[in-house]
Amino acid sequence: MNSDTRKNNVDLMDFTCRFFKSRGAALEPGQDSADILVPPDLARSLEVEEWITVVSKKAGSGESETKSRYLMQFQSPLLERITSLAGAKPSFLQAELKFDYIKTEGFDRLVTEAFDRNKTKAKITGTGAARTRYLILTNLYQAQSDELKEGLMDFCFNLDTGALIPGMILPLTHVLKEYQVKSNRTCTPEEIETIYDRINRHGPGGMQVLRHKFIFPQLL
């Protein structure tokens, strides 16, 4: 995607607010300004206080920067640090598009109609298949209040990263569990050790998120 700057100028306040919001900051927008509660790690990286106010060039034309109050304009020190940090780890968007037919003509039109892009142009340069492996675990839990009850609880992990995916199992609840595979591939001993390691690291946190009061899940 290429930015179209011929029709629109860059809104520095919008860029700044989106930057802070994407990195966990709490914002309170005002007229031509915004109060921001900055996470400690981000505040240290930007060399600012944890509570700051950013002001647009229009609102701050008659004043200079002071402690905790920063003017957002080109070549300002804070904006330079923000753009440097934003460029170090840019955000990427990945999506899968499925259409009922394949026609060269009209494909670009379908993409244009499906997305609302802010100040950008989209062009399809190619497609490719992506595969991700997941690990679904069904666990036994015991719930005790006035009486003891048992049940099953599901957890889903990304097998390659170990990340817990709390909502992924919900659409699969009523799906027949007969998976079609091209070969009966089994996990290697190294993969099994990795699975144990990731369950030990991420399992307790997943249980804490999913369990209700008086429920104490145990891995089978």
Q: What is the pLDDT of residues 137-196, one digit of tens each?
A: 777 767 777 777 777 777 787 777 777 787 777 777 666 555 555 555 667 788 778 777
Mean pLDDT of 74-100: 73
CA distances from 129 to 94, 113, 147, 158 (A): 12, 23, 50, 18
Distance, CA of 110 to CA of 93 (rounded, Å): 18
| Eight-state DSSP code of residue 146 | S
Q: What pTM was estimated for this model as a whole?
A: 0.39
Domain boundaries, given as residue ranges, for the chain: 2-88, 134-218
Distance, CA of 155 to CA of 164 (rounded, Å): 8
Phi then psi for 16, rounded to 5 degrees? -65, -45
Tell me the pLDDT of the chain averaged across its residues.
71
According to DSSP, the residues that pair with 121 across neighbouring strands are: 2
